Amino acid sequence: MLDEPCLEERTMSDESANPSCISHLSIGTNDFPRARAFYDAVMAALGCKVILEYPGAVAYGKLYPEFWVQAPIDGRPASVGNGSHVGFFADSKAQVDAFHAAALAAGARDEGAPGPRPLYGEPYYGCFIRDLDGHKVEASYWDMSQGFDAHDHAH
């Protein structure tokens, strides 16, 4: 297992508390340099940066190391989970569009162009891609000014 260095000490106040219920997510790759170059480009389109890195592993986020890309620690080949995908928040529809464009330019496969998905509700605008290892990745913007109640829609 990787030894994680201490993050700089942070004060958790109401203004800086992470609203997510997820600490982090990690996906595996069989070609770390290629995956690193891909995610450097697409995560920047979402306003994310490298927070931590080790040989064969990198973590992206805005403040915390929330999304890891790494070669499997056990040395066995990485595989893609059927029925699973990673979803990232975008700050605007334009940021969804930029993520999609950056992903395709970096070699991703389109799995759903940017746009609304009526099934997900009026506020949703998003896109889906397959990364270079085959992982399904989503970027979405939710315009909550439309008064959407997430509890009224099954997804």
The CATH number of whichever domain residue 45 belongs to comes to 3.10.180.10
Neighbours of 92 (CB within 10 A): 11
The pLDDT assigned to 4 comes to 43
- Does 7 map to a domain? no
- Does 8 map to a domain? no
- The one-letter code for the residue type at 94 is A
The pLDDT assigned to 23 comes to 82
In this model, does residue 115 exceed pLDDT 50?
yes
DSSP 3-state of 144: helix
- Does 37 map to a domain? yes
- Does 118 map to a domain? yes
The pLDDT assigned to 150 comes to 56
Residues 6+ apart with CB under 8 A from 148: 121, 122, 123, 142
Residue 22 banded pLDDT, cuts 50, 70, 90: confident
The pLDDT assigned to 149 comes to 64
- Does 66 map to a domain? yes
- Does 116 map to a domain? yes
Residue 120: which domain range?
A: 25-72+85-147
In this model, does residue 6 exceed pLDDT 70?
no
In this model, does residue 5 exceed pLDDT 50?
no
- Does 89 map to a domain? yes
- Does 31 map to a domain? yes
Our count of domains for the chain comes to 1
Q: What is the pTM of this model?
A: 0.80
Report the distance separating Cα 95 and Cα 81, nearest Å.
26
In this model, does residue 8 exceed pLDDT 60?
no
